Amino acid sequence: MKPLPFLASALTGILLTATLSGPALAATPETHTNTPGASAADGTPSERTVDAQTDEVTTLPVDSSDVTIIGATWEGEDPELEIRTRDGNSWSAWESLPTDDEGGPDAVSAEAAQLPAASHQSQSVALPVLDSDTVEVRAADKQADTDDLQITQVSTAVTKADAQVAKSAGGVSTHSATGPAVDAQISAKDLRAKIVTRKQWGADEKLVRCATDKTSSAKGVFIHHTAGSNSYSKAQAPAIIRGYLAFHTQNRGWCDLGYNFLVDKYGTMYEGRAGSLDKAVTGAHASGFNSWTIGISVLGTYSSAAPSSAAQTSVKRPVAWKAGQYGFNPTGKMTLTSGGGGTSKYALGKKVSLSVVAGHRDTSYTEYPGLAFYNKLGSIRTGAKALVPELTPPPTKAPTKSPAPKPKTYPTKGAIGSYYQKNAGKTGKPVGSEKKLKNPNGAYQSFAKGTVYWSKSTGAHFLTKGQIRVAYKRVKYEKGVLGFPSSDKQTFKYRKSARYQRFHSGMITWSPQTGSDVIYGGFLTKWKKLGYERSKLGLPTADRTVKNGVKRQNFERGYMTYTKKTGIKVHTRR
């Protein structure tokens, strides 16, 4: 991901999902406005998500005293989103809100298996916004074939407790762990430095979705930066981290905060993913290479300027601390086996030799950490190695190295396998084995981006994760009135924003205005004769209903009814 060149205090914060619009811009046909979600006084993040359109500006009122994170998700083509912020009467320039190429759980991990379907959609970076009262988001490509575009907004208040952390945390301390300079902030005496615990920075443990994986040891460290402005204050840093916890768990579906440790520009260290202080906890910081590694991220963007010397010094200490704990050499090499994933440079099962202290860009298609920070990794390696004797705990029992888990793969075969070979980019990799179906007879196989169904009469077709799938579930999948898919998802010829998918006995339609609806039988035959989406009725707005013997289906500009006595009647609104 390319670094975002936002001006000083324009953007720093936490992702929040919201779709709003305010006063229309010169070249913008429509805007919508919504009031900002109120953040809790205790610093608990509040979240809002709204639908957006590629031909509209989404305006998000925010509280300038809060830390706010803005992010987007969509299906289909990248709309090339842009964002700007206002502080008082002054607007920043429009800047890119690019597609996220960050980390995530390893594809074959238990954490990945529990991800909700929505987390597989394309998504933007999670961008912190600071000291702003309004945010606007727009699509540079207004003609993009984009579905289900949503904006999320997560807001977090800066609390008195945050100010106290800022006052007492400071940077590193080389005093003895039992000396007066190391107070309640210390959580691991062997680090011999202050570290802000999850309780102290206000982690809401109810947001944690699941227990995270652990390994018996660690082989090395991945270094990151989080993106966003570098102009945050000491007191804003804990609020930013609370926002990331909420965004990573509730929006991306991860078990917990993605990083094991975080460091701010002032040199303050923070406990990240729970358990990281004394265990080799698997994070979500480097897709495909989370197992057996530790993720450390510095708050901010460091493409043109490196982190402060205080931040760099603080990064060296947990590297040295963990090197002593797990017996790795900060200036050495490690061999890892790729767990695969969409952002990984290396295929599933590929063995890769890396520096023990590596940058995220070494294994993923990303520019993280920024080049200025990446160029400092050499000095961080040597500095950490020099600290190892000081920070190595007394020897206890030598850690037992366990072999890396063998990645699980799923074969494809027959018609479903042939479809996958031709459409792998559309389906993603298989995430389960082929399953047989009876009554009606057929088969299906789950893939990263949806499901391929097959039957003898319909052939193999792909059902994406989205609103059409939701409607298909509503009518009990292939066992319901529709049967198996008989086509892939398609765009209506005369309604470019609307989609449809054919099934053995009917059709599901979708548009941003109407949602997803099932139509079949005589109503579908009649609608076809009227001209489908060009008809005087427009698109369906609901599934068929039956009341007092009368079958009815509503449309945008009217409805159809059926009884045995009258047959199908078309009613249009005047």
Average pLDDT across the chain, whole number: 81
The confidence score (pLDDT) of residue 8 equals 31
How many angstroms separate the most distant Cα atoms in the chain?
A: 92
Cβ count within 10 A of residue 170:
16
> What is the bridge-based pairing of β-strands 261-263 and 269-271?
antiparallel
Q: Check residue 120 and report its DSSP letter.
A: G
Q: Are residues 426 and 349 in the same domain?
A: no
Question: pLDDT digits over 42-56, tens only?
Answer: 667 788 888 888 888
Q: Where are the alpha helices (H) located in 69-204, listed in sequence order? A: 110-113, 160-169, 198-201
Question: pLDDT digits over 56-66, tens only?
Answer: 899 888 888 88
Give domain status of residue 181, yes or no: no
Question: Percentage of residues in the chain with pLDDT exceeding 70?
Answer: 84
Q: Where are the alpha helices (H) located in 147-206, listed in sequence order? A: 160-169, 198-201
Question: pLDDT digits over 465-511, tens only?
Answer: 889 999 999 999 999 999 999 999 999 999 999 999 999 999 999 99
Q: Which of 192, 186, 201 is nearest to 173 (CA)?
A: 192
Task: State the residue for tokens 């062997």.
Answer: 190
Mean pLDDT value of segment 533-551 = 95
Lowest mean pLDDT among 8-12, 418-422, 478-482: 8-12
- Structure confidence at residue 11 as a pLDDT band (50, 70, 90): very low
Q: Are residues 300 and 201 in the same domain?
A: yes
For residue 252, pLDDT over 80 is answered with yes
More confident residue, 193 or 212: 212
Give domain status of residue 308, yes or no: yes
- Structure confidence at residue 182 as a pLDDT band (50, 70, 90): very low
Q: Are residues 445 and 485 in the same domain?
A: no
Give domain status of residue 501, yes or no: yes
Question: pLDDT digits over 101-112, tens only?
Answer: 666 777 778 887
- The parent domain of residue 220 ranges over 160-166+186-387
Check if the beta carbon of residue 548 is closer than 8 Å to that of residue 539: no
> What is the bridge-based pairing of β-strands 95-96 and 146-157?
unpaired
Mean pLDDT value of segment 308-316 = 87
The confidence score (pLDDT) of residue 365 equals 63
Check if the beta carbon of residue 79 is closer than 8 Å to that of residue 54: yes
- Coil, helix or strand for 121? coil
Give domain status of residue 23, yes or no: no
**Phi (first) and psi of residue 112, to 5 degrees:** -65, -35
d(CA 17, CA 506): 35
Q: Which of 149, 60, 152, 72 is nearest to 511 (CA)?
A: 149
CA 101 to chain centre: 10
Can you give the pTM of this predicted structure? Answer: 0.61
The confidence score (pLDDT) of residue 3 equals 35
For residue 192, pLDDT over 80 is answered with no
* Concatenated DSSP letters of 432-447: S--EEETTTTEEEEEE
For residue 134, pLDDT over 70 is answered with yes
The CATH number of residue 91's host domain is 2.60.120
Give domain status of residue 27, yes or no: no
Q: Are residues 365 and 503 in the same domain?
A: no
Mean pLDDT value of segment 267-271 = 89
Give domain status of residue 5, yes or no: no
Question: pLDDT digits over 370-411, tens only?
Answer: 677 787 788 888 888 888 888 776 665 666 788 877 778 899
For residue 263, pLDDT over 70 is answered with yes
> What is the bridge-based pairing of β-strands 261-263 and 293-298?
parallel
Q: Are residues 74 and 57 in the same domain?
A: yes
d(CA 272, CA 286): 15
Mean pLDDT value of segment 504-527 = 96
Give domain status of residue 34, yes or no: no
- Structure confidence at residue 168 as a pLDDT band (50, 70, 90): confident
Residue type for 112, please?
A
Q: Going along 88-211, which residue ranges are E strands?
A: 90-91, 95-96, 122-123, 127-129, 134-139, 146-157
Q: Are residues 78 and 210 in the same domain?
A: no
For residue 524, pLDDT over 80 is answered with yes
Check if the beta carbon of residue 106 is closer than 8 Å to that of residue 162: no
Q: Within 13 A of 511's CA, how many CA atoms are on the CB side? A: 17
d(CA 500, CA 42): 46
How many structural domains compose the chain? 4
Final residue before a domain boundary, out of 424, 449, 465: 465
- Structure confidence at residue 366 as a pLDDT band (50, 70, 90): low
The CATH number of residue 325's host domain is 3.40.80.10
Q: Are residues 105 and 129 in the same domain?
A: yes
More confident residue, 361 or 222: 222
For residue 444, pLDDT over 80 is answered with yes
Check if the beta carbon of residue 357 is closer than 8 Å to that of residue 381: yes
Question: Percentage of residues in the chain with pLDDT exceeding 90?
Answer: 30
d(CA 289, CA 295): 10
Question: pLDDT digits over 106-130, tens only?
Answer: 777 888 788 776 666 777 777 788 8
Alpha-carbon distances of 545 from 18, 176, 493, 552, 560, rounded to whole Å = 33, 74, 28, 5, 11
Q: Are residues 455 and 547 in the same domain?
A: no
Give domain status of residue 398, yes or no: no
Mean pLDDT value of segment 124-151 = 86
For residue 256, pLDDT over 70 is answered with yes
- Structure confidence at residue 569 as a pLDDT band (50, 70, 90): very high
For residue 222, pLDDT over 60 is answered with yes
Task: State the residue for tokens 């227990």.
Answer: 211
CA 288 to chain centre: 16
- Structure confidence at residue 4 as a pLDDT band (50, 70, 90): very low
Q: Are residues 193 and 293 in the same domain?
A: yes
Q: Are residues 446 and 504 in the same domain?
A: no
Q: Are residues 368 and 224 in the same domain?
A: yes
Cβ count within 10 A of residue 431:
18
d(CA 457, CA 483): 10
* Concatenated DSSP letters of 43-83: ---EEEEEE--TTEEEEEE--TTEEEEEEEEEEES---EEE
Check if the beta carbon of residue 74 is closer than 8 Å to that of residue 149: yes
Mean pLDDT value of segment 257-272 = 89
Q: Are residues 536 and 443 in the same domain?
A: no
The confidence score (pLDDT) of residue 555 equals 96
